[in-house]
Structure 1
Amino acid sequence: MGKLKKIIGVVIIAVVMGVGAAFYFVQKDVEAEEEKPLTAEELAEMSIDTDVITTNLASPGNFGIVQFNILLSNTETKEEAEKRTAEVRAAVIATVASFTKDELIGESGITLIEEELAARLSEVFEKGKVDRVLVTEFKMQ
């Protein structure tokens, strides 16, 4: 009976180690997939471009002409974004109009508007999130 307990114990330990090793390698593969950069086709499948939008800025007498590329977390979110174009456009206008001309000057201004718009658009979508926003056209007067 003592030998049987030792054999069962060794088998149980071997099974637990095998399951642990399998879990480790499966998890490692999942992480490797997540870290892989998206291809151009995948980026196109999950992003939308806004129309060229003209709106006043917060500083009197100034206006901006902008267009954005919005990368969404998945294709389901892209479909939702395509159905909510009015809300996306309203979020863009409200975001751009909240800045003054001085705030938007230079690279830091572009980064600021991209981050602010990404945060605002993330509140609009129910099925996913905004991964990034890029300014593709930007003019101020």
Structure 2
Amino acid sequence: MGKIIKIIVAFVVVAAIGAGAYLYFMPKEEKAEEHKSLSAEEIAEMSIDTDIITTNLASAGNFGVVQFNILLSDKDTKEEAEKRTAEVRAAVISTVASFTKEELIGESGISMIEEELVTRLAEVFEKGTVERVLVTEFKLQ
């Protein structure tokens, strides 16, 4: 009977520690989510728009016309991005050119190119991070 009581006490202690840890970390996650939602003014202050870019695609005889909005982590990163427009443009062109027309058709294609650009642009900037990339102009031929 003594072993059963020890097992029950150990289970209750582990459950209490788990519940405490859950309650301890839960408010931080909610605060982090609230912090992530930015106002329209903050988004405008920390984002850049690329020029409209026309580039060939990986599939022969096809080209794409694209434009992106890039949200950066802070104003310093935006300033860096404005100074590195040639590198940003080159990253966009090489990323778009690596896809075929068939890969880019539909919502999944747009999502795929946005995700790939986040990764590619992260290599360009020394300060801050790329929070998200949105396709604002998209035509395939």
TM-score by length of 2: 0.77
- Report the Cα distance in structure 2 between the residues aligned to 1:107 and 1:46, rounded to whole angstroms: 26
Q: What is residue 137 of structure 1 aligned with on the other side? A: 137
How far 1:133 moved relative to its partner? 0.1
Corresponding residue for residue 43 of structure 1: 43
Q: Which runs of at least 4 in structure 1 moved beyond 4 Å after TM superposition?
A: none
Identity rate of aligned residues, in percent? 79
Per-residue CA deviation, residues 46-105 of structure 1 (Å, 9 max, x unaligned), is: 000000000000000000000000000000000000000000000000000000000000
List alignment gaps of at least 5 residues for structure 2. Answer: 1-23
Matched residue type, 2:38: L
CA distance in 1, matches of 2:41, 2:133: 17
Q: CA RMSD in A?
A: 1.7
User: Match for residue 53 of structure 2?
Assistant: 53
Q: Which runs of 5+ in 1 are unaligned?
A: 1-23
Instruction: State the secondary structure of the residue aligned to 1:68.
Output: strand
Normalised by the length of structure 1, the TM-score is 0.77
Alignment of 1:16-31 (within 5 A): none
Q: How does 1:1-141 map to 2 (within 5 A)?
A: 32=31, 35-36=34-35, 37-141=37-141
SS of the aligned residue for 1:58 comes to: coil
Question: Aligned pairs, how many?
Answer: 115
